[in-house]
A and B are shown apart, each in its own frame.
Chain A
Amino acid sequence: MSFKYPVVMPKMSMTMETGELINFHVAVGDHVKNGDVLFEVMTDKIDMEVEAPADGVIEALVANPGDVVEIGKPVLIMLTDTEVMAFDFGTDNEPVAAVEVVAAPAPVVAAPVAPAAPVILNETVKAVPKARVEAANRGIDLRTVRATGPDRTITMEDVNGAQLDPAIAKRQAANKALIAKGIEMTRSIAQASFTRSVNANFDHATFIAAWAKVLRNRPDLAAHQHVGVALIIESKYGSALPVFKDPDQLKIADLAALVASTTDAAKNGKVPVAMLSGATTTVFDLTTYSMSSATPLLFPNQVTSVTIGYESATTKIVSLTIDLNFCDFYDGALLLDALVASL
């Protein structure tokens, strides 16, 4: 049984509304395999290759190179035997309605299409060892790097061609400047942790917004021009760290909806690729594990990290780790104090 499947303009960043089709890598009648590049898209932020979500045959090219296409609108139509393929491009895990091919000549497109297209988060990244070393050194999230090696393994060429988050690049330049001034960067030693008990109930969105607001007042603690709060979400696929950018500037209801949908997506192994970079701090909720506290680990290029722990039905424990290369104990105490007060 063959299904028509429209491959749409994906949503590749939070702000993206349209994308320009650069060119097609396929022609009508081509047989493609899952993962083959179908076309290239340009946005104000990035260029990206869109891959075939399943094996199939190209039935029609709907857009033309140079066209500016709204997200969710079809770019080409594939015929496929794979029913589940729509899943990969759906936002809410709802399969895009697939149209069964009938004998009558099929009208072009018209299938209802999901509006946004989160990119699949690779649950396991395959990379050659040196690529991991290189990515760690340069602050590159390997999950965002396109793999061109055998068996979809990330090679050195892939990592060397990867774009470094400009915020991280700036931070690294700042680090170098510190080192040049003779300030030693022994990150593993030079950190301190603080813990406070909080008599309040709050959800993740409230907490993320409160923490972002506290950090907003301390731009010196991040070279970034934004506040990016990474929330660690555990699933059977491993840990995902979607980043909520400037969450304190969203309406709390919108943020709550975004946190909820992103958490669901992450638990299914999917996070929009645009949400995988730009973290300036990290939050880990331990209450799901009934744990009270842990020493939050500092991630590379971040100065702060917090955990939420369980103390009792009405009280929670908030722990903060700071990097002493960038602030002192007093700063840490003030930060935690401000966070607790705003909760």
Chain B
Amino acid sequence: MSDRMLTMAEAVREAMSIAFDERPEVFLLGEDVGIYGGAFGVSGDMYHRYGAERVLDTPIAELGIVGAAVGAALSGMRPIVEIQFSDFTAQAMDQIANQAAKIHFMLGGALHVPMVLRTPQGSGTGAAAQHSQNLEPWFASVPGLKVVVPSNPADAKGLLLAAIDDPNPVIFLEHKLLYKIPGRDPVPEGATRIPLGVSKVVREGKDLTIVATGIMVNKSWEVCEKLAAEGISITLIDPRTISPLDMNPVFESVEKTGRLMVVQEGPAQAGFINEVIAQLAGSSSFGSLIAPIKRLAGMNIPIPYAPQLEKAAVPQLDDIEAAAREIVKNWR
């Protein structure tokens, strides 16, 4: 069947299950991933299907969880770690940034760490500052880590399978609000892989190029649909892998549209999306710009608890729509 509409949680579970079936060395560990089925229900029934040896419930000790995974990866296993909230990766950062990311390089390529660290991120759940962050730049700024930010179930499945295949550590950032909603596109059956490091042109237009990550791809899509009715046609690009970053589609698109807007959920200051702006500004495509580059990003504050303030702290549909219309209207 080619019209299967899955949620991202289902798609991620399916990818993990395929990897479990393909390779005996793949296993999952994390807090509540076993009997409970995962804090967001992503592992679901996998504990019952694959048993306690391959779906490991761990103590609440992130540094220990990732340390165990790095050790297992070094000795021939392919661990998938789930950290319950991406905010908690701070606890495990030494294992992630100083061990997993660097071992391959510091040992001259003799050893490597084929580990995938999956973790839900983002705001919009009323869970306040310590459970709502978007930490894309933390990981994207560490050489040696690959960083994947899927925006839809089909991509999540294909990218996760590629991430598990990868011989080096991959950070896989899943947005909580996307877990329960079906994607726009059906999820293909079987073990279809999507290579890391390839940006996706989600739709093509001639007036504006939007580059967005994660959930902002979905919000931007809705804006594209709405503005198309007004005669504004937009190219929407989803990098999907923010490290390594594939800028070529962005260069090609900006040379056609002359206008660039970037959208991310995380705080503006030193955010990942700034990298897109920097690379464009330093490229020969810069001379194609007919408008200043517009950046939409979160405010430089911890995510507030109050729902109205939480919404106001990150770009919403209206913000994206207004900014897109303004840049096209004001710069001709």
Contacts and interface: CB of A to CB of B under 8 A. Distances in A.
B49 interface: no
Contacts of A149: 330-331
A149 B286 CA distance: 18
Contacts of A130: 258, 287-290
B290 A155 contact: yes
A94 B292 CA distance: 39
A107 interface: no
A156 B292 CA distance: 12
Nearest to B291: A128
Interface residues of B, number: 11
A130 B290 CA distance: 5
A149 B292 CA distance: 11
A156 B287 contact: no
A129 B289 contact: yes
A150 B290 CA distance: 12
Contacts of B292: 128
Classify the interface of chain A: helix, strand, loop or mixed. Answer: helix
Contacts of B331: 128, 149-150, 155-156
Interface string A144-156: 0000011000011
Contacts of B286: 129
Interface in B282-323: 286-292
Nearest to A129: B289
A331 B288 CA distance: 40
A131 interface: yes
A100 interface: no
A291 interface: no
A130 B289 CA distance: 5
Contacts of A132: 287
B332 to A, nearest CB: 5
Contacts of B291: 128
A177 interface: no
Contacts of A129: 286-290
Nearest to B331: A155
Nearest to A150: B330
Nearest to B258: A130
Interface in A148-188: 149-150, 155-157
Which of A129, A132, A133, A149 is the most central at the interface, judged by chain B CB atoms within 10 Å of its CB?
Answer: A129
Interface string A110-145: 000000000000000000111111000000000000
A168 to B, nearest CB: 21
A156 B258 contact: yes
B290 A156 contact: yes
Nearest to A159: B290
A140 to B, nearest CB: 15
A143 B138 CA distance: 44
A157 B331 CA distance: 9
A132 B288 CA distance: 10
Contacts of B289: 128-130
A150 B288 CA distance: 18
Contacts of A131: 290
Nearest to B292: A128
A341 B331 CA distance: 54
A157 B287 contact: no
A130 B291 CA distance: 9
A160 to B, nearest CB: 9
A155 B330 CA distance: 9
A156 B332 contact: yes
A130 B332 CA distance: 11
B328 to A, nearest CB: 12
Interface string A61-105: 000000000000000000000000000000000000000000000
A129 B259 CA distance: 11
A131 B287 CA distance: 8
Contacts of B287: 129-130, 132-133
Contacts of B330: 149-150
Interface in B91-125: none
A313 B331 CA distance: 54
A157 B332 contact: yes
B253 to A, nearest CB: 15
Contacts of A157: 332
Nearest to B330: A150
B279 to A, nearest CB: 15
Nearest to B332: A157
A151 to B, nearest CB: 9
A155 B288 contact: no
B212 to A, nearest CB: 23
Nearest to A136: B287
Interface in B110-146: none
Interface of A: 128-133, 149-150, 155-157
A-B pairs, top 6 by smallest CB distance, nearest first, are A133-B287, A129-B289, A156-B290, A130-B290, A157-B332, A128-B290
29 contacts: A128-B289, A128-B290, A128-B291, A128-B292, A128-B331, A129-B286, A129-B288, A129-B290, A130-B258, A130-B287, A130-B288, A130-B289, A130-B290, A131-B290, A132-B287, A133-B287, A133-B288, A149-B330, A149-B331, A150-B330, A150-B331, A155-B290, A155-B331, A155-B332, A156-B258, A156-B290, A156-B331, A156-B332, A157-B332
Given A156-B331, A157-B332, 9 more contacts: A128-B291, A129-B290, A130-B288, A130-B289, A133-B287, A150-B330, A150-B331, A155-B331, A155-B332
